[in-house]
Amino acid sequence: MSVAFGAGALIRAAFARARHERRAALLPFLVAGDPDPLQSRERMLAASAGGADVIEVGFGYSDPVADGPIIAAASQRALAAGMTFERTLALVREVKSHLARTPLVAFVYYNLLFAYGVEQAAHACAAAGFSGILSPDVPLEEADDLIAACARLGLAVPLLVAPTTTPHRAAAIARAATGFVYLVSRMGVTGHHRAADEDACERVRGLRQHTETPIVIGFGVAPGPRLARLAACADGIVVGSLLIERAAQAPNPPAAIEAIRTTCATLASYCGPAMDSKAVTCLRRVDPAPSSGGSPTHGGTEASQAESG
């Protein structure tokens, strides 16, 4: 399959569309192959039907350091169903044949990229139809190869900012990220049972001083007034554990697919249109990521920092 150069522009278009509609973008997260490839495909299509602007697609991995028990269990189900790097790419190719305008972002731990070959993995992801690659456990200082490989293919490389990230380091990450900056809302692993920290919006405002790239908030997100407040200050909201849990609790596959669609629709209803114009990022471009050389260090990756609390 040919590589769709500039595929990362789909992410820019998704955020621009949400901004035009004065709302935050909705970014559901689902694990590819959970609980099997066929149902996984239908769940991604249901997420789009429910209002997803961008879909994060998790690659099954045996040691997902940033993920809580719900997503970790989904990853294990995918692996048990036989999902591999190549089978995930094949599934995404199939999904993209139905969702040509919806950007998909690979959420993949760096060890998988390293084992596959970073350059080769980036090319394979682009060919499958991904618009970007988010690797939650790669520190900024070691992301140059991934950023460079993706820049050559027009893929975005979103980067994480953790609650423990120093302001100086957060600014460097924000400047290097493309597609979007992923602000981890609280300490700990993923999961909706612990709410996002109240200071998340203040941290968004701090990051806006250093980047025009959209800023999304994830970890601890669930429907309710808190979600509406987060959506009013961020450019997008990431939700994974809630969706996966509701699908897993459904009595049968059709009910699980419907749970994904209706939950996405409910989440989207909290995402606007009620955004303060002062809180909206000026979306003008998705630039090739600048070099991260010389940026300050702050021991460990942003994912491991988030988990450590």
Contacts for 200-204: CB closer than 8 Å, 24+ residues apart: 200/230, 200/233, 200/234, 201/229, 201/230, 201/232, 201/233, 201/234, 201/279, 203/161, 203/163, 203/170, 204/233, 204/234, 204/279
Distance, CA of 302 to CA of 309 (rounded, Å)? 12
Which one of 34, 56, 245, 307 is the catalytic residue?
56
Strand ranges, E, within the chain: 25-31, 55-58, 104-107, 132-134, 159-161, 181-184, 215-218, 236-239
User: Is 276 tagged catalytic?
Assistant: no
User: Is 67 tagged catalytic?
Assistant: yes
- Looking at residue 83, its amino acid is M
Distance, CA of 255 to CA of 253 (rounded, Å)? 5
Contact 128, 93 (CB under 8 A): yes
Distance, CA of 254 to CA of 43 (rounded, Å)? 10
Which one of 67, 245, 302, 307 is the catalytic residue?
67
Residues carrying an active site annotation: 56, 67
